[in-house]
Chain A
C-alpha cells in the first residue's frame, strides 16, 4: 500500500490514492457506521451513543438528536464519495470523522481500552485497527 494514501493538491482538493482493496475496507467501515447508527443491536451502536453528561441518567434529547443527525450526514457523504478520486474539504472531513468513529467503535466493541489490551488482541482485529489508523494518519496529514 502506498505510504501516502491521501495527498493535498495545489487546488486544495485531497487526492485519494487508495487501491480497490483500500476502498473496500473504507466501504466496509462506512457501512458499519451507517448500520450502527440505526440498529440498536449492532455491536458498534453503544459506541455511537456514549454519554454526553455522565452525571445524568439521560442526556439532553436535542443534543443526542444533533449527534445522530451529524453522524448520519457525515457517513452519508462519505459513502456517496467512496469512488471519488478527489475530495473537497467537507468530504475529507466526513471521511476523517467516519473513519475515526469506526476506529473507536471497533476498540469499544472489542473491549480494547488500554495499550496492553491492544497488544493482546487477535491478529485480524489488530490488522484492521492498524489499517484504519494508516488511513487516518495520512488523511490528517493531508488536511
Chain B
C-alpha cells in the first residue's frame, strides 16, 4: 500500500483549521546488473514488458550495464509490483523501492 508523506502542516492557531497536504511517493522498479545476461535479451524484455521503443529500451539497458542498476519505471505500488514480477519471470534481477 502506498505510504503517505506529509508535506506541509499549518497549525498557526488552535482556531484555524489545519491544512494538510499529502502526496503519494511513487515506487520505482529497479533492474540490477549481472555478469551473464546478454544485452540484447534485456532490450527485448524491456520492449516486450513496457512497450518501450528500441532506443529507450537500449538506453535503459546501457544504464543497467554501466551503473549497475536502472530505474525502468515509476508509479503506483500495485503496478510497480506487477512490472517487477514480469521482469523476474523473464529472468532479470529486479526489485521495487519507494522514491526517496
Binding site for B on A (CB under 8 A): 50-55, 60, 63, 66-67, 70-71, 74, 93, 96-104, 107, 112-115, 117-118, 129, 133, 136-137, 140-141, 143
Contacts and interface: CB of A to CB of B under 8 A. Distances in A.
A118 to B, nearest CB: 5
B44 to A, nearest CB: 5
Contacts of B56: none
Q: Give the interface size class of chain B.
A: 20 to 34
Contact of A52 (B36, B44, B95): B95
Given A50-B95, A52-B88, A113-B34, 12 more contacts: A53-B81, A55-B98, A63-B81, A70-B89, A96-B90, A98-B91, A101-B90, A104-B34, A107-B35, A133-B38, A137-B38, A140-B44
30 contacts: A50-B88, A50-B95, A51-B95, A52-B81, A52-B84, A52-B85, A52-B88, A53-B95, A53-B97, A54-B95, A60-B81, A63-B81, A74-B89, A96-B44, A97-B89, A99-B91, A100-B45, A100-B90, A103-B37, A104-B34, A104-B36, A104-B37, A107-B36, A113-B34, A118-B36, A136-B37, A136-B40, A137-B38, A140-B44, A143-B44
